[in-house]
Amino acid sequence: MLKFNDLRLKPQILTNLEKVGYTTPTPIQGESIPSLLEGKDLLGIAQTGTGKTAAFTLPMLERLSPRDFSLTPGQPRALILAPTRELASQIKESLDKYGEGLKLKYAVIFGGVGQASQVSALRNGLDILVATPGRLLDLMNQGHCKLSSVEIFVLDEADRMLDMGFIHDIKKVIAVLPEKKQTLLFSATMPKEVVSIANRILKNPIRVEVTPPSTTVERINQKIIFCQKAHKYQLLRKLLQEENVELTLVFTRTKHGANKIVDYLNAHQIKCAAIHGNKSQNAREAALENFKSGTIKVLVATDIAARGIDVQGVSHVMNFDLPVDAESYVHRIGRTARAGKDGDAISFCDETERDALARIQKLIGLKLPTDTFVGVAEKSVKDTRPARPYRDPRAKPKAPQAPQKEEKNKVGFKFRNKR
């Protein structure tokens, strides 16, 4: 069996791996690291939770250390692009663990927080920069960051990053990268249209495919529960109270939907928090930290967080809403069954989501077991926010009226009907 000792990594890196309990590389690590140490471009495909981050950070640390020259301010030697703030932060945490004692400098930059500390880190010089595209482009436009010295470029979660919604940002970054560099793309899924885009920016890449694209983790027990849309809240509460849950991730399509779930569960004495794009960075970090520590057992998230949550011990993933994009299902449920443990993925399906379910089952090549839940009429959770009076935008404003005089009651005055 292959060991990390067999991969020609520095003794300090091997010591750091032993500290975190890693001795045997995962398949994606074992197949990727030797080629990356030789400086080759790579397209790596592996299921979520199989160790992709170590697969590219370990050879990067090996190749960039030791450094016997001074860093140029604002010009990182390696760039890792990640789709979400959470994922970028967790990559930086991995670098801190694996690179301890190597005397390399790393930083992470993303939006939603002040840029002063990020600008300062760039000004002091960096070996490795982990970034989300939006904030990176902002700082580049302000003149704080130049990419002309990048030796290694990594796109993590490449399928999401190269999606049509991100392609323009990626092209802007690629346009200013040096011609001579090592380029890596890692992703849990790789649709054909993404492969064609990826091949344009990779030069004779090694392709490492540990599992077929979009195959879900075998250790996850998957189930579909049919119910009415209005009864999903009751179903979620029932499962959280009756299932043997440790840590549960609940996914919903919208930010508003996530907030409504949190209001409902909190009203029924189930501690939880939401994490989505409208939350401040501090609120997102606090929610994630409370979830990791077990202070709260339930974290409600939108798909933006599906790519960035890496928490050990998640026993259940519950899809309150089925994702429209079938591949997002793979990423969602990949948050459980990590580190060799089993996990459960339970998805709610109402009458409007049958097509989404069909797409998911076609993608993963499985017909999932089903169950049915029938709820009862339930009072809605009281909204504590003050109601705003409705005003028809088409209505003309009323002219101010003169105050009317009060008419005094004429006590004792009687009317008689004439006969």
Q: How confident is the model at residue 413 (pLDDT cuts 50, 70, 90)?
A: very low
Extents of the domains making up the chain: 4-209, 220-372
**Can you give the pLDDT at residue 161?**
76
What integer is the mean pLDDT of 311-337?
A: 89
Query: What's the mean pLDDT in 128-147?
Result: 96
Domain 220-372 fold is: Rossmann fold (3.40.50)
Domain 4-209, CATH class in plain words: alpha beta
Q: Using CA atoms, how far apart are residues 196 and 27, in angstroms rounded to an integer? A: 25
Q: What percent of the chain has pLDDT over 90?
A: 60
What local confidence, expressed as pLDDT, does residue 397 receive? Answer: 57
Return the H-helix or E-strand segment holding 259. helix 255-267
Q: pLDDT tens-digit profile of 92-123?
A: 999 999 999 999 999 999 998 899 999 999 99
pTM metric for this prediction: 0.70
What the block records as the tokens of 265 is 């569960």
- Given this chain, do its domains 4-209 and 220-372 carry the same CATH topology? yes
Which residue from 261, 263, 257, 297 is spatially nearest to 277, judged by alpha carbons?
Answer: 257
Q: Are 335 and 249 in contact (CB under 8 A)?
A: yes
* 381-390 pLDDT per residue, tens: 554 444 455 4
Task: State pLDDT tens for residues 173-195.
Answer: 999 999 999 999 987 777 776 77
